[in-house]
Amino acid sequence: MRSASPNITSVTNTTEDWDYYCIELPVGPTVWAGFGVLSGCVGIPASVWLLWVLGQRQRKGVTNDIYMLNLTVMDAIFNFYITPAMLNFLLWKNEMISKVNHVLYCFNISGRPLFMACICVDCFMAVVHPVTYMKMRRSRYRLLPCAAVWGFTLLFGMLFVHNQRLFITSYTGLPYLLSIPTIVVCDLAILHTLRKPDPSRRSDVHPQKQRALQTITTSLVMTLVSYLPVLLVCPFLSLMPATDQVKMCVIIIPVLIAPMLGSIIMPLLHLHGLGSLRGLQQCTRVSGPSGPPAQQP
């Protein structure tokens, strides 16, 4: 099935008119485009910075962040592409660019939640089953899941290229149906394990454990905020008494803003967790209204 042609007055007819570019219902796409600008301005530097930090850590052998590296690559590609995608949707309306957009947008709506699930499973094994985790720390055990996520994501995008109307079906929520239960179960299991009393029966919580609890809690909340709207809406699209046009322009496009924000916020949270934002925070304090403290004579 073909999408709308570059001539904005023509649309493709099947059972009803299908205005893929939402020319008659522009409010949802306009709001989406506004967040797309934010994604480009904030997400690109955050993703590139995080990619550099992870690369340095990997080179020094500090940690094995192969899942996070792959996730950050997907975020960087998505954040770089979102501005051209936005311009094409609102202005250019080029069919070939739209097909590329369908594949690359799946980095956000498919690859990102699946890699988040991989990261949570990895953390679950490290905290709940540390002996098994130590036996499988080598990167080769993680290469197969990475290849599977990349392959699934690209295939997922190609199906959207073949049939654009899949956007307005429950098919869009499939990656979230696979990933969110995994993320929630793993995070809750990690929280339960970390909150267990110390064997020495000390009442205070070790600072490292406290930071881990805060990190997991923040990650769980952000995951639910980013992905739950899509999971709650997509399975019920077929039951909604609305035209395909309304489903696409008024429901789906605004709902996809939530996972887009995940590609902005998650890199910043991870940079904060790695301590990479401390220098920026110190610079902000020094350059604040009060300026540096005056030296005593």
Query: Which CATH number is correct for 26-197+204-274, 3.30.43.10, 3.20.10.10, 1.20.1070.10, 2.60.120.10?
Result: 1.20.1070.10
In angstroms, rounded to a whole number, what is the distance separating the alpha carbons of residues 248 and 77? Answer: 24
219 — pLDDT class (breaks 50, 70, 90): confident
**Per-residue pLDDT tens digits for 18-31:** 788 999 999 999 99
**Per-residue pLDDT tens digits for 267-283:** 998 898 888 887 665 55
pTM of the model: 0.86
Q: Are 135 and 146 in contact (CB under 8 A)?
A: no
DSSP string, 257-289: HHHHHHHHHHHHHHHHHTTTTHHHHHHHHHTST
Best mean pLDDT range from 8-17, 41-50, 235-244, 272-281: 41-50
Q: What does the pLDDT average to over 190-197? A: 85
Q: What is the mean pLDDT of the chain?
A: 84
Domain boundaries along the sequence of the chain: 26-197+204-274
What are residue 67's phi and psi, to 5 degrees? -65, -45
**Per-residue pLDDT tens digits for 200-217:** 666 555 666 677 777 788
Position with higher pLDDT, 12 vs 182: 182
